[in-house]
Amino acid sequence: MNLEDTIAAISTPLGEGGIGIVRISGRDSIKIAAKIFKSPTHKDITKQKSHTIHYGKVIDPENNKVIDEVLLMMMRAPRTYTREDIVEINCHGGIVPLKKVLETVLKNGARLAEPGEFTKRAFLNGRIDLSQAEAVIDLIRSKTEVGLDIGLNQLQGSLSGEIKELDRELLEVIASIEASIDFPEHDIEHITVEKVREKVERVLDKINELLETADTGKILKEGLKTIIVGKPNVGKSSLLNALLREQRAIVTDVPGTTRDIIEEYINIKGIPLKIIDTAGIRETEDMVEKIGVERTKELFRQADLLLIVLDASDRFTEEDELLTKLVNDKKAIVLINKTDLPQRLDEDVVRKTFSNKKIIKISVKENIGLDRLKEEIAEMFFKGKIESRDLTIITNLRHKEALRNAKESLEKAMETIELGMPLDCIAIDVTGARNRLGEITGDTVSEDVLDQIFTQFCIGK
């Protein structure tokens, strides 16, 4: 990657829109802009103040043909996204004008940016660290409001701050080890070992705390994967609609109505749920339905929570029984629906069959029991409340791995201490842990990993 180049790309989605933006970054951005931009008052763009907006036209300097009428934003380094000079040209949103403007920019000295290259430059130029760059992807992709909060927190450096703090403590450990190796004559070694043990233990505690947030983090970022299951016609789609408060899924009194898998996001007491309605599970000869049922079974494996729906107005059948095989160790809530109708379901059988699961009686039709269901979900996963706003939460698998590896190195260091090995042996493990932590901020990360991260971005970001 060459930081000397000036790069350009269309930074807005391709398609018709009110405006579209071509972004240029690098040392020649303003020079290139000056070549292709004409303002009605013949302003010299290179002489304008930073962070100013200018009205005018983009022209092809070869033939003076007007390409688009635009607003041009000029931002000088270092107070920019990449820390380089940036020009953003607001064009009329449409594929043709945007492509023409980009082409003109490229013809006049820029090269097309790679995916994520603007953000990569922000990282390479030291404006953000790697965890912050990753937060940018999380923000773009966030599917839930809490996910957005966590992403923003991380972008503002919450995780980086904690990691740097841990690294500073480990650096102190190494410094004190080195000092005692340099001055071995006193009884310093004994004191040092005690100090080192204390510090390493403290860092280990903090790493464990961070690791403990990872499960929550995944749920908050991606949504608690909740699957509604049950035999045909028990009211699964009705339940989805009731929770969504809209008629999303088709509801009929014909068993086998839902054939496709329907996914929606809802918010229950601040917890994002990715809620999935499925085809009723039953033995069937119908091919289309068979595929639906197969996919349902496949989905089970990835579920965080199952909502098992039974029909109070019907006997407990083999099809209900079938569900127990799929559920086994999953977190699940059993819902006895249609309690507004005369009851034919034998509750004792249900209790015996789903002995270790919570059972709630509901009527979707009469809106009975749905609040209790919501409370139960919140209780099950977040002890009734969640506060993500000011929390550092690990949502990224890469960060989790790095923390786990750092933890391992520090545990080795503790063993080394217990065994009474020489201090420099401890220093090796502590340095190992520092390197692992550095992978999160990007201080000690390989070129491959960097590429992997930045290619997840779209072009223009």
Least separation in angstroms between residue 337's CB and ligand GTP is 5
Dihedrals phi, psi of 277, to nearest 5 degrees: -95, 140
Residue 217 binds which entry of ligand GTP, Mg ion, none, CB below 5-8 Å type-dependent: none
Minimum Å gap between C-beta 378 and Mg ion is 25
CB nearer to ligand GTP: give 284 or 444.
Answer: 284
Pairing of strands 19-25, 7-10: antiparallel
- Does residue 237 bind Mg ion (CB under 5 A)? yes
Q: Is 292 exposed, middle or buried (0-12, 13-18, 19+ CB in 10 A)?
A: buried
Minimum CB separation of residue 173 from ligand GTP in Å reads: 59
For residue 146, the partner it binds in Mg ion, ligand GTP, none, with Cβ less than 5 to 8 A by kind, is: none
Q: 48 or 237, CB closer to Mg ion?
A: 237
Of residues 254 and 419, the one with the C-beta less far from Mg ion: 254
SS3 387: coil
Please report, for residues 173, 195, 412, 426, the alpha-carbon distance to residue 189 in angstroms, rounded to integers and kept in the order given.
Answer: 13, 10, 19, 12
Give the x-and-dash track for 207-236 against Mg ion (CB under 5 A): -----------------------------x
Three-state SS at 297? helix
> At its nearest, how many Å lie between Mg ion and the CB of residue 233?
8
Rounded-to-integer distance, Cα 168 and Cα 162, Å: 10
Minimum distance from residue 259 beta carbon to ligand GTP (Å): 8
Residue nearest to ligand GTP (CB): 280
- The contacts of residue 325 (CB under 8 Å, 6+ apart) are none
Nearest to Mg ion of 364, 406 (CB atom): 364
Question: 430 and 408 in contact (C-beta within 8 Å)?
Answer: no
Question: How many residues interact with Mg ion (rule CB under 5 A)?
Answer: 4
Which of 277, 266, 352, 342 is closest to 307 using CA atoms? Answer: 277
Which residue in 323, 314, 236 sits closest to 282, CA to CA? 323
The answer to whether 70 and 58 are in contact (CB under 8 A) is yes
Query: Which does residue 452 bind out of ligand GTP, Mg ion, none, counting CB within 5 to 8 angstroms by kind?
Result: none
Q: Pick from Mg ion, ligand GTP, none: which does 189 bind, CB < 5 to 8 A by kind?
A: none
Instruction: Give the containing element (helix H, strand E) for 108.
Output: none
Shorter beta-carbon distance to Mg ion: residue 6 or 241: 241
Residue 436 interacts with, from ligand GTP, Mg ion, none (CB under 5-8 Å by kind):
none
Closer of 14 and 261 to ligand GTP (Cβ): 261
What residue ranges bind ligand GTP (CB under 6 A)?
Answer: 230, 232-238, 251-253, 255-258, 280, 337-338, 340-341, 363-365
Among residues 368, 321, 379, 367, the alpha carbon closest in space to that of 345 is found at 321
Cβ closest to ligand GTP, residue 284 vs residue 431? 284
Nearer to ligand GTP, 284 or 353 (CB): 284
Q: Which does 338 bind (CB under 5 to 8 A by kind): Mg ion, ligand GTP, none?
A: ligand GTP
Question: Pick from 234, 275, 242, 245: which is nearest to 366 by CA?
Answer: 242
Cα separation, 380 vs 203, in Å, equals 30
Q: What is the DSSP letter of 15?
A: S
CB of residue 379 vs ligand GTP: minimum separation in angstroms?
Answer: 23
Residue 234 touches which of ligand GTP, Mg ion, none (CB < 5 to 8 A by kind)? ligand GTP
Of the two residues 58 and 251, which places its CB atom closer to Mg ion in the complex? 251
Instruction: Find which of ligand GTP, Mg ion, none residue 441 binds, CB within 5 to 8 Å per kind.
Output: none
Q: Which tokens hold the place of 145?
A: 């409001």
DSSP assignment of 120-161: HHHHHTTSS-HHHHHHHHHHHH--SHHHHHHHHHHHTTHHHH
- C-beta nearest to Mg ion: residue: 258
Cβ of residue 344: shortest distance to ligand GTP, in angstroms? Answer: 13
Q: Which does 337 bind (CB under 5 to 8 A by kind): Mg ion, ligand GTP, none?
A: ligand GTP
Nearest distance, CB of residue 280 and Mg ion, angstroms: 7
In the complex, minimum distance from the CB of residue 339 to ligand GTP, in angstroms, rounded to a whole number: 7
**Which of 153, 258, 363, 416 lies at the binding interface for Mg ion (CB under 5 A)?**
258
Question: Amino acid letter at 16?
Answer: E
How is 16-59 classified by DSSP, letter by letter?
Answer: --SEEEEEEESTTHHHHHHHHEE-TT---GGGSPSSEEEEEEEE
Decide whether 365 or 374 has the Cβ nearer to ligand GTP: 365
Residue 396 contact partner, candidates Mg ion, ligand GTP, none, CB within 5 to 8 A by sort of partner? none
The CA-atom distances, in angstroms, between 175 and each of 16, 83, 132, 327, 391 are: 59, 34, 29, 54, 31
The C-alpha torsion from 104 through 109 and 114 to 118, rounded to 10°, is -100
Chain contacts with Mg ion (rule: CB under 5 A): 236-237, 257-258
